[in-house]
Structure 1
């Protein structure tokens, strides 16, 4: 059985083959500026070898997801999984010899890098009995093996460089053949590029990249200008899996293609400037609603009446035991206040004054609780724990027993969401009960809860969050 595939043809029409079995042992480096046909080359290589060997594609731009439609590759959306799940998927891919595309376009750059690094490490760390041969294609490799840290953290750079170095240096013994493609050789870490024995060099214009490409191809410096003159889809190839001398190859056609193909030039819409302006500004205010206004000040007449009412001698207070109806009425006042717009954004002292005034106006007859007790009861009312049964409410309040009043309401909302089976509470509600519209404050609050052991936060690569409350799940189960 032949293990050769045809990658393209020379100018004379002669086919240019690639020996896949040799490629598994010697790895491949592809270089070309944007628009040189680098992704087309990788697609041709993957399509022609799809029936010969397992394939794993690290796809940061979503260019190769169409392979799933034509060749049965399994699509893994990196944004949908947590780090532990990505590692588990990597291990199962090796065990079941599945060809997959790890799509990362839904993630920010640093998250793409960390996700790919953990995925590659899982492939590399598979047990010996799962060391089956596989092509591992990494597009835009300068992101995952950068020569310098750039905008990513040094910790992330060390993680991804370790994963890429393992793939290119030590992956062969584990059956992993790295195929890395980059726009610029100067941006790719040298210890990663140096491990490739096969090269396909496309068009590039910068002198430093042309010089490195010429060195890798065994060409003299004066011949480097040839690389600048290459047309789109034309590459210079060299290596034991391709040719023993530099060969010019025009990459052949492909069956699949990017799902979002770039369109050609289109005529602009024939719309008058004033009509276009109207289209852009139509219902713009509705799309970006302003923040709710602060509550209006109370009329002076009501304040005067409150002061006069306060000056009167109060009726003899009833005790809590003497009137269940009075307790229910006071709880109703608390609940009504907690549900008012922007109530949690007011200071506790102002809220307490308003509460005491309403209790007197409704002639409930009970002495209002002190400020500390009021803050705790107001937090419970803001969290809307009445949606839960009495036993669950008691469990949640027990878990929150050591929390201060200023952070009690957010924790109760988190615990209530966990009790209702939700992954995380609604962020708008969490911000409302905390009395803040700052995402940074909410993030620091969650970090505080996690450090104190009240919650466990599990963050997914796509930015999704799952929050668990230790002790609550066991009791509810």
Structure 2
């Protein structure tokens, strides 16, 4: 099977109708950029490439206007309506990658932000497929300026980053995964440079704006004066250059195609030459007062249908909410508090959560509360209140202990985000233990940086919550002014000892109580 397809004919003087060809194997390794103003024939060119290469290589089309769904009738492409949940888009993208079938992602029923999100999720899923499914595929993205914009627009920054990241992966890193990007745009200046610059093959059609002509001329290697020829190109005629096309800029005319887009360019339709008196009267007839005023029809954004998992989750949430409401009338507050402390202590004691951020820990806390059917919704502030002593290693302290109650009362004057380290030093001082090292403080604070730990200690001291002073041989002592306690001297450079001091595990000597500073 030959690797070349026929785009049309070379139209340069003296060419004699020589066919214009493109090498698909070379294209898979070098990618393609197509530019042309509206009406220049970009979609026609893409359709010609897809029709000629159908059956030779897998094709994936990102179709924002539904122009390419007709490929399914002639060539068997699977048409995927993008009005689906994120999980469904990811799963179907992986199935397409694995099965090697050609597909069209139809985005026409979504607004611009929805199109960006759906395209980003779909492309990322194909990009992240297992190595065993890195089959060669042409990935055609029409109107690429929508998915790789250079500037912010009427869409969220999250959608922009998702879509731009997917396009960057496709054009910059897709080759090793077998993904060959073909991007088409009306305005080259509106496409992110790190996306457009990765293409080695170019097909430039009719263009009128100076900035777009200048960029096209730079890519083709022609001088600025010669770029005026882009304004004279006919519809369906392109300047071709690249390893999969020609080594020198060559003008080609695209041949006809077998399929047609669902929407076509508007044709001239003359109005009626003679309007009868009855027709005029019908148009200008009085409108009844009760008649509703007609509204111009607009394409509404149809929300994605909920997946089976979403529906089951909603049913489960309603069921749990009913049970929680019934249980809230029967569970005493002391029992609920004890259960919450136990959940937080188990979360902190898990080694996998040593450096997890607070949001992840709260999500785990919320799930555990629902799983154990604890009444009341999980509260973020309540979780922070319980997390500080648990991270400080005091999750198993006796709540009736008088000294510990003093420490907890003093901690109420400390901001919640700083309370964990305050209680860590208070616990060490109460037990007359050495001052925790920088490595231990870093782990308790959820970081791997001793420098960050020293900064947190300095911040507590500047706020007046603790006082540090040097001991013998550069050891460190931390005093708690509000409690009149202080730790024993400890080496700040000592290694962390999580086996002896991990959160939720009593340190040696917990039974002993230290003397207070007089």
- 1:215 match: 218
**Displacement of 1:263 after TM fit?**
3.9
Q: 1:63 aligns with which of 59, 64, 67?
A: 67
CA distance in 2 between counterparts of 1:47 and 1:205 reads 29
Relative distance call for 1:248 and 1:128 in structure 2 (3 A) is same
CA distance in 1 between counterparts of 2:10 and 2:319 reads 78
- 1:10 match: 10
**Displacement of 1:161 after TM fit?**
1.1
- 2:24 match: 20
CA distance in 1 between counterparts of 2:285 and 2:69 reads 38
| Superposition TM-score, scaled by structure 1 size | 0.60
CA offset digits 1:254-293 (Å, max 9, x no partner):
00011232341113354644422449x579725779xxxx
Matches within 5 A, 1:107-256: 107-256=110-259
Q: 2:86 aligns with which of 61, 83, 88?
A: 83
Number of residue pairs aligned between Structure 1 and Structure 2: 302
- 2:77 match: 73
Answer with 102-111 or 143-152: which moved more. Answer: 143-152
**What secondary structure does 1:243 align onto?**
coil
Relative distance call for 1:285 and 1:185 in structure 2 (3 A) is same
**Displacement of 1:149 after TM fit?**
1.5
CA distance in 1 between counterparts of 2:158 and 2:320 reads 41
CA offset digits 1:290-322 (Å, max 9, x no partner):
xxxxxxxxxxxxxxxxxxxxxxxxxxxxxxxxx
4+ residue runs of structure 1 moved beyond 6 angstroms?
Answer: 393-396
CA distance in 2 between counterparts of 1:210 and 1:394 reads 62
CA distance in 1 between counterparts of 2:319 and 2:101 reads 49
Q: 1:276 aligns with which of 274, 283, 298?
A: 283
- 2:454 match: none
**Displacement of 1:22 after TM fit?**
0.2
Relative distance call for 1:284 and 1:150 in structure 2 (3 A) is farther
Relative distance call for 1:125 and 1:276 in structure 2 (3 A) is same
- 2:40 match: 36
CA distance in 2 between counterparts of 1:163 and 1:282 reads 54
- 1:285 match: 291
CA distance in 2 between counterparts of 1:283 and 1:174 reads 65
**What secondary structure does 1:42 align onto?**
helix
CA distance in 1 between counterparts of 2:198 and 2:294 reads 53
CA distance in 1 between counterparts of 2:40 and 2:129 reads 36
CA distance in 1 between counterparts of 2:125 and 2:50 reads 22
**Displacement of 1:250 after TM fit?**
0.5
CA distance in 2 between counterparts of 1:257 and 1:8 reads 17
**What secondary structure does 2:249 align onto?**
strand
Relative distance call for 1:394 and 1:239 in structure 2 (3 A) is closer
CA distance in 2 between counterparts of 1:28 and 1:255 reads 22
Matches within 5 A, 1:75-474: 75-79=79-83, 81-268=84-271, 270=275, 272-278=279-285, 285-286=291-292, 398=323
**Displacement of 1:60 after TM fit?**
0.1
**What secondary structure does 2:123 align onto?**
helix
Relative distance call for 1:213 and 1:452 in structure 2 (3 A) is farther
CA distance in 1 between counterparts of 2:17 and 2:97 reads 39
CA RMSD of aligned residues (A): 2.5
CA distance in 2 between counterparts of 1:205 and 1:151 reads 25
Relative distance call for 1:402 and 1:212 in structure 2 (3 A) is farther
CA distance in 2 between counterparts of 1:401 and 1:29 reads 63
- Which residues of structure 1 form unaligned runs of 5+? 290-392, 404-450, 454-477
CA offset digits 1:347-366 (Å, max 9, x no partner):
xxxxxxxxxxxxxxxxxxxx
- Which residues of structure 2 form unaligned runs of 5+? 296-317, 329-375, 379-518
Residue 51, structure 1, aligned to residue 58, structure 2: no
CA distance in 2 between counterparts of 1:394 and 1:174 reads 45
Relative distance call for 1:395 and 1:227 in structure 2 (3 A) is closer
- The one of the two structures with greater contact order (alpha-carbon pairs below 8 A, sep at least 6) is 1
